[in-house]
């Protein structure tokens, strides 16, 4: 007899009350339900074989954490917004029970999201990032970083550092550093030099299937994955950034599109006069609907 399929809920301690209705809905739809609180990694390992969906409840940071846990296991994820920005989350908390019902009925699509991975000394498992890998100078010192893409020199930068971002992460640190927002359906990686001392040092978009090696030619840097510091490098040290596992993100017909997210969250493309005169709504032409279904 096969094990009962389950839905997992990744949330912060103290948030159990807000998911009671969603848990009841999951059970009514024939799923077992489990929550990951104090030790999410252990909970994921325990329930990996039966989990049909992981629901992350929080802000973008919670979604990123859940994505890194779920992607290697092939478990789809849906993000529920309880944070401030919530750029990565498709569902608001009051719509979660309905989202569970729609998932159970098969009324959804999935969108693939690529992750990046790096290997660090002393670790058997690669470090994963769904947003970006950052190689950055310590304090305010300028370092020289060489960036090679599939063993082909892209450039050597006297800079504060380099951001190597997925399409998903292009609207995070990479965007703040001057990189372009990239629709996550595009299979691309963005390389963004940070405050480079050069006449031309624009961000570059490359295919996501390529390896990127960042080598420290001068200076001392830290390496961070999705904001988590994972290594320190000095002269001659390097980090190899490779394509990682893919994540399936569950989306519904009324999930916000990438374009609408840019308008709503970042006020992209909204004339300054309109910002001053009226609040932003999402009734502009083409605002409704998802990102075009599975990608």
Q: Which residues participate in catalysis according to the annotation?
A: 60
Q: By C-alpha distance, which of 188, 233, 185 is closest to 213?
A: 233
Measured CA to CA, the distance from residue 155 to residue 146 in angstroms comes to 6
d(CA 114, CA 209) in angstroms, rounded, equals 10
Token representation of residue 202: 């624009």
Nearest to 39 by CA among 20, 13, 18, 19: 13
Q: What is residue 157's three-state secondary structure?
A: strand
Radius of gyration of the chain (CA): 20
- How far apart CA 30 and CA 8 sit, in angstroms, is 13
């Amino acid at each position: 007899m096969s094990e009962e399929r389950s839905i997992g809920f990744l949330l912060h301690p103290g948030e159990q009350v807000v998911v009671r209705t969603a848990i009841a809905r999951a059970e009514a739809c024939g799923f077992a339900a489990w929550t990951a609180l104090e030790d999410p990694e252990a909970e994921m390992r325990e329930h990996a074989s039966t989990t049909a969906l992981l629901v992350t409840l929080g802000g973008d940071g919670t979604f990123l954490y859940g994505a890194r846990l779920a992607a290697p296991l092939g478990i789809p994820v849906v993000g529920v917004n309880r944070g401030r920005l919530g750029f990565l989350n498709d569902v608001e908390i009051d719509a979660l029970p309905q989202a569970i019902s729609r998932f159970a009925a098969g009324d959804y699509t999935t969108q693939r999201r690529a992750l990046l991975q790096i290997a660090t000394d002393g670790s058997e498992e690669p470090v994963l990032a769904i947003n970006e890998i950052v190689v950055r100078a310590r304090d305010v010192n300028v370092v020289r970083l060489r960036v090679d893409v599939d063993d082909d020199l892209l450039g050597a930068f006297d800079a504060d550092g380099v951001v190597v971002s997925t399409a998903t992460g292009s609207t995070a640190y990479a965007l703040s550093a001057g990189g372009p927002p990239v629709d996550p359906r595009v299979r691309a990686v963005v390389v963004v030099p940070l405050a480079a001392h050069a006449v031309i040092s624009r961000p570059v978009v490359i295919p996501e299937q390529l390896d990127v090696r960042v080598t420290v030619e001068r200076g001392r840097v830290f390496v961070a994955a999705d904001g988590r510091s994972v290594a320190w490098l000095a002269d001659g040290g390097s980090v190899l950034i490779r394509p990682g596992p893919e994540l399936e993100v569950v989306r519904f017909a009324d999930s916000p599109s990438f374009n609408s997210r840019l308008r709503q969250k970042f006020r992209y493309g909204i004339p300054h006069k309109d910002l001053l005169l009226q609040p932003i709504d999402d009734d502009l032409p083409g605002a409704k609907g998802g990102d075009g279904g599975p990608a």
